[in-house]
Structure 1
Amino acid sequence: MLELKNENLTVQFSELGGQITSIKDTDGVEYLWQGDPTYWSGQAPVLFPICGSLRNDWAIYEPAERPTFTGTIPRHGLVRKMLFKNVRRTENSLEFSISSNEETVKNYPFEFELSINYSLLGNTIRTEYRVKNLEGHRKLPYFIGGHPGFNCPLLDGENYEDYYLEFEKVESCTVPRSFPETGLLDLRDRRPFLENQKILDLSYQLFEHDAITFDQLVSRKVTLKSKNHQKTLSIAFDDFPHLVIWSTTNQSPFIALEPWSGLSTSLEESDIFNAKRNISYVAPKEVDRKHFDIIIE
């Protein structure tokens, strides 16, 4: 078992997917969703090199140095089921790593190294993604994101509707239309969602049209709170422009709070990967870093 522990939290990890598998406080309360397949078998997958979905799962690459290449990347990317190596461990941190291989280059034709550094400091778990471009001459295009699910409700005897999200700042925004059957978005077809408010009460009806994609938030922190007690869980995502929240509609006792660097393909977008909205690039032999924090109080 891979574990980090201090006076506030005990956090466990798996090399499968390089992900967190448990977050418990000193009262023994489990914050992380435990992957009940009745609702959702995932826990906290890492999304790379895409977040969300591509049209028909197609990624078309048009680097100048070689002919057009088309690959297939499933929803949320290639690494969720890959076995990472635990390459470094200290008293308060763990680092996992994987590299491109014969299988990944068939559909994502770039040489890369992806490292995930988890650190535990006080009541904060920091997840830092490090994407290294192993190519000698080409920029590496990518998206990356987290998909942690959290128990909601946290305590016995509570209901989902007892919980709410509190945004760091007062928000007024619209959200794009989503298509659950394909995972795509229409960024031109938007509906009002938050209007001069910091509080979003949770209900299963929120997710009747699939996940909610926030691409206009001013806040860089959101907190899950209960009306019944003082335990809270926050996500701080300064390095990520988007936040996606998701649950299923079948009374599922969890909510996913997901910082993404990019979004699913929008209907008006092409399938050319290099030209996608908000794509990140890493220069040859360089490393790009992005992090977010989970804060338990």
Structure 2
Amino acid sequence: MPVSMRIGNQDLTVDVSSLGAEMQALRTSDGGSWLWTGDAAFWTGRSPILFPIVGKAPDDKIAIDGTAYPMAQHGFARRSEFTLAASTATMCRFELAASDATLAVYPFNFLMAVEHAVEGRALTVSAEVSNRDQKTMPFGLGFHSAFTWPLPGAAGRAHTITLDNQGEPELVRLAGGLINPAPLPSPFQAGRLVLDHAMFAQDAMIFPQGAGDGLRYSADGGPTLHFHFENLPNLALWTKPGAPFLCIEPWHGTAAEAGASGKLSERPSTTLLAPGAMARFAFTVEIGQ
């Protein structure tokens, strides 16, 4: 059975499950609840970690060294039981190592460590992937956290995404769960996007490049979540139309492109990790007043 860890300080409380090393709750000391609850009426996820792929693969198969392996959307980490490796009052670290089950679908010896840590009103979630194999290891990794929409105390107010770099990144959409690489005009104007559920009638909005390494998710006259991304060049925004959450998804890797090769190493933004090397990916979210 999965175990749950609670970490926190005088400002924040965070619950993390050993199943997928997935955050289950993010609360402030004033009683505000900032993370989606996982209501099955809309979506059971809350904050899954995506590995070793982000998004879908053609026919739900990836090709590695000429062999096809079954791989469900967003990979297997989110449905895997992690082991608690370390914890303090304000930090917990869960690890997932290669096993017979993972080797059957992803033939690499890896170690993945996911850490949640709080400091003040900020939470940092990091993932470190180590290649313990003798060959280069391709993978994608992404975060898929769902935050409340509306934010606490901000019902009825307009909600906005504002990019720190004031960019207007090109938009791509999904076709059958795969990336349609034809770029569309950016919905951002000088880095600002006023959210509307109609934007998600065609599934996620994906920005393969140019969104920068930080953004603010805020309500007019209300609270703000300020995000900083580390080694996560791709961004997606997603909800189900009418659902009371917004997924803010920084990735290193995307779904395969429609009509493209099923080779894992050829997916957009795939990391190719050398033997013995480690790659780190992280986001920090600070809850403003």
Q: After TM superposition, is the score higher than 0.5? A: yes
How far apart in 2 are the matches of 1:8 and 1:288?
Answer: 30
User: 1:162 Cα deviation (Å)?
Assistant: 2.1
1:282 maps to what in 2? 273
- 1:200 equivalent among 176, 193, 196: 193
Asked if structure 2 preserves the Cα contact closer than 8 Å seen for 1:17 and 1:45, the reply is yes
1:144 maps to what in 2? 141
Alignment RMSD: 1.5
Q: Is 2:263 the counterpart of 1:272?
A: yes
How far apart in 2 are the matches of 1:76 and 1:243?
Answer: 15
- 2:224 equivalent among 232, 238, 241: 232
User: 1:195 Cα deviation (Å)?
Assistant: 5.3
How far apart in 1 are the matches of 2:52 and 2:142?
Answer: 9
The residue type equivalent to 2:163 in the other structure is F
Asked if structure 1 preserves the Cα contact closer than 8 Å seen for 2:124 and 2:285, the reply is yes
- 2:76 equivalent among 72, 75, 78: 78
Asked if structure 2 preserves the Cα contact closer than 8 Å seen for 1:85 and 1:98, the reply is yes
Asked if structure 2 preserves the Cα contact closer than 8 Å seen for 1:162 and 1:228, the reply is no
User: Cα–Cα, structure 1 residues 157 and 168, in superposed 2: closer, same or farther, change >3 Å?
Assistant: closer
Asked if structure 2 preserves the Cα contact closer than 8 Å seen for 1:113 and 1:131, the reply is yes
Q: Any idea what the Cα deviations from partners look like across 1:3-41, whole Å, max 9, x if unmatched?
A: 111121111111111011111111110001010111111
User: 1:268 Cα deviation (Å)?
Assistant: 4.4
How far apart in 2 are the matches of 1:246 and 1:195?
Answer: 15
Residue 194 of structure 1 aligns to a residue whose secondary structure is coil
| Unmatched runs of 5 consecutive residues or more in structure 1 | 63-67
User: 1:264 Cα deviation (Å)?
Assistant: 0.6
How far apart in 2 are the matches of 1:61 and 1:150?
Answer: 35
The residue type equivalent to 1:94 in the other structure is C
Range with greater deviation from structure 2 (254-263 or 191-200): 191-200
Residue 100 of structure 2 aligns to a residue whose secondary structure is coil
The residue type equivalent to 1:46 in the other structure is I
The residue type equivalent to 1:142 in the other structure is F
Q: How many equivalent pairs are there?
A: 285
How far apart in 2 are the matches of 1:218 and 1:28?
Answer: 32
- 1:48 equivalent among 46, 51, 54: 51
How far apart in 2 are the matches of 1:168 and 1:71?
Answer: 39
Asked if structure 2 preserves the Cα contact closer than 8 Å seen for 1:132 and 1:288, the reply is yes
Identity %: 25
How far apart in 1 are the matches of 2:177 and 2:266?
Answer: 19
How far apart in 1 are the matches of 2:57 and 2:190?
Answer: 32
1:262 maps to what in 2? 253
- 1:167 equivalent among 156, 163, 166: 163
Residue 274 of structure 1 aligns to a residue whose secondary structure is helix
What TM-score results when the alignment is normalised by the length of structure 1?
0.91
What TM-score results when the alignment is normalised by the length of structure 2?
0.94
Q: Is 2:23 the counterpart of 1:20?
A: yes
User: 1:290 Cα deviation (Å)?
Assistant: 1.5
